[in-house]
A = this chain, B = another copy of it.
Amino acid sequence: MAATTATPEGFAQKLADSGLRSTPQREVVYHALMRKQDHPTADELFARVKQEMPGISLATVYNCLEALVQCKLVRSVNFERGPTRYCPNLRPHAHFHDESSGATHDIDLPEGVLERINAILPPGYDARSVEIVFRGSAGAKR
């Protein structure tokens, strides 16, 4: 539950923090992403968003996503060479890419895991971010 950054307040604020404005398009794209907790591509989002804002263009969806990623309301993920996927889950988490279904699942990282992973870096390396991607099958369970 708990809609992280429900919508109005924090939304405009986070954008503003990066010197960006809140616009109808950005809101609509953001909501389309929030509504369904899968990891849609820009194209998929475009299709969803067009329903409530028929005039929006694909370029704008890309622009909005870029803005949202920049102000850290959204994360982008890449699997192999596939199209970029977007994810409104801001907690530190890894991704599990199910090869049979093509679905992507968030794997929340238990406390301390990030620290331990950073610890494998030799001295002199300073990581700003780490990305962990599993590939396999998410059987039975779920």
- A residues contacting B by CB (< 8 A) are 78, 80-81, 84, 94, 96, 99, 105, 107, 109-110, 113, 116-118, 120-142
Tell me how far the C-beta of A120 lies from the nearest C-beta in chain B, rounded to whole angstroms: 6
Q: With contacts A122-B107, A124-B139 known, is A132 near B132, CB below 8 A?
A: yes
The docked-state distance in angstroms from the alpha carbon of A122 to that of B116 is 19
Number of copies of this chain in the oligomer?
2
Tell me how far the C-beta of A136 lies from the nearest C-beta in chain B, rounded to whole angstroms: 4
Q: With contacts A125-B138, A132-B130, A133-B130 known, is A117 near B120, CB below 8 A?
A: no
- The answer, among B81, B117, B125, B134, for a CB contact under 8 Å with A127, is B134
The docked-state distance in angstroms from the alpha carbon of A66 to that of B134 is 21
